[in-house]
Amino acid sequence: MQTMNRFVYLDHSATTPVDQKVLEAMLPFFSMDFGNPNSLHAWGRKARQAVDQARDEVSRLINAEPSEIIFTGGGSEADNIAIKGVALAKKDKGRHIITSAIEHHAVLDTCKWLEKEGFDITILPVDEYGTIRPEELRKAIRPDTILVTIHFANNEIGTVQPIEQLGNICREQDVLFHTDAVQAAGHIPIDVKKLPIDLMTMAAHKMYGPKGVGALYIKKGVKIVPLIHGGGQERGLRSGTENTAGIVGFGKAAALASDRLAKGEPEKERNLRDRLIDGILEKIEDAMLTGHRTERLPFHASFCFHYIEGESLLLRLDALGIGASSGSACTSGSLEPSHVLLAIGLPHEIAHGSLRLTLGKDTSEEDIDYVLENLPKVVESLRVMSPYGKRG
């Protein structure tokens, strides 16, 4: 047995640790500052002020107006509110929605549910890098198209989409454009005043904030039907007493992300990522990078290794103190290869050998060295026992 000498968390696409400063900002709202933001007394006012400040911080991250942000119970909820909310608001105008084959299940399964409810869904294909071709979108838009929902960047293969081109096509055709930016927000600069985006999803826990809180950007003038009815919070679009502590944590995480982006810190992450990618492709035979080489998230590296099984690889890495993923957290554990890897055209046996390594702001050179030293050995030893052939 190898001894465990390091813990290297490389699964930041699944979730990020809560930043210490975020935790500190949140703590008072679990104790002395417990007020309901909807109450008129001092306790309530204190909470309301904190929620307002968080809304300012989240809006500043993407250059939106505070009134264009509603807080939700996470990324999946924001996707549901956006897609179902637009579908219900526009159903008399048309019932056609366009999405892509490599969306997160929060988008894909919402669209599939709407299909059963009488909407018509077009699922756009992607190329071998996981890019949605703008011409494909242009061809798919019809007079009854009411919404296009295409993610900003992919969680499994890291590819960043040509959002500006895709959004411009929607604008020309007068179709609403929603983008799930859960992986991108806080990591690459996004300016909703410059980009043609009508609705955009974010989640705090993918940018060093807490889990269970997200936000939906809704451009001024865009109408959606609410799914959660009640006290009328969040402009009536998401009723329920605000998750004050979570929202405060999201605000702080967004403010810290704005600072990191302003200082150009993702560049450091990008350099480490490139060292990891180059090292792996050099040291391991029959390894391929999945996703786009350059148009990809700065912290994201993903691969397929021939002749091995991703699940066994994860277990061996775990035993070495390395936290990785073989795709999205929701699909790991099942035997079906991910819909994303199949959509970029990989055959089943290769898609099975997938590995995703996603870096964070605190990932060090030493962490990368540790992976580069151990991963090739692990892959080699698994191939020796592989049922997929080669040396097996």
Min dist. Cβ of residue 87 to ligand PLP (A):
18
Say if residue 3 carries a ligand binding annotation. no
Say if residue 76 carries a ligand binding annotation. yes
By Cβ distance, which residue is nearest to ligand PLP?
75
Q: Judged by CB under 6 A, does residue 106 bind ligand PLP?
A: yes
List, in order, residues 6 or more apart from 152 with CB less than 8 Å away: 160, 161, 163, 179, 180, 181, 183, 184, 185, 190, 200
Among 55, 95, 96, 151, binds ligand PLP (CB under 6 A): 151
Q: Judged by CB under 6 A, does residue 320 bind ligand PLP?
A: no
Among 35, 37, 74, 186, binds ligand PLP (CB under 6 A): 74
Q: Judged by CB under 6 A, does residue 156 bind ligand PLP?
A: no
* 157, 127 contact by CB (below 8 A): no
Q: Which of residues 213-232 bind ligand PLP (CB under 6 A)?
A: 214
Type and span of the H or E element at 356: strand 354-358
Give SS3 for 319.
helix
* Burial of 24 (C-beta count, 10 Å sphere; 0-12/13-18/19+): exposed
The CA-CA-CA angle for residues 227, 155, 342, to 5°, reads 105
Say if residue 155 carries a ligand binding annotation. yes
**Other residues' Cβ atoms within 10 Å of the Cβ of residue 196:** 18
Q: Judged by CB under 6 A, does residue 202 bind ligand PLP?
A: no
Residues 37, 45: Cα–Cα separation, whole Å? 6
* 304, 280 contact by CB (below 8 A): no
Residue range at the interface with ligand PLP (CB under 6 A); choices 69-77, 115-123, 241-249, 346-354: 69-77
Q: Judged by CB under 6 A, does residue 327 bind ligand PLP?
A: no
Q: Judged by CB under 6 A, does residue 249 bind ligand PLP?
A: no
Residues 295, 158: Cα–Cα separation, whole Å? 8
Q: Based on the residue annotation, tell me whether 111 is a catalytic residue of this protein.
A: no
Q: Judged by CB under 6 A, does residue 75 bind ligand PLP?
A: yes
Instruction: Tell me which residues touch ligand PLP (CB under 6 A).
Output: 74-76, 104, 106, 151, 155, 180, 182-183, 203, 205-206, 214
Q: Which residues are annotated as part of the binding site for [2Fe-2S] cluster? A: 330
Catalytic residue numbers? 330
Q: Which residues are annotated as part of the binding site for pyridoxal 5'-phosphate? A: 75-76, 155, 183, 241
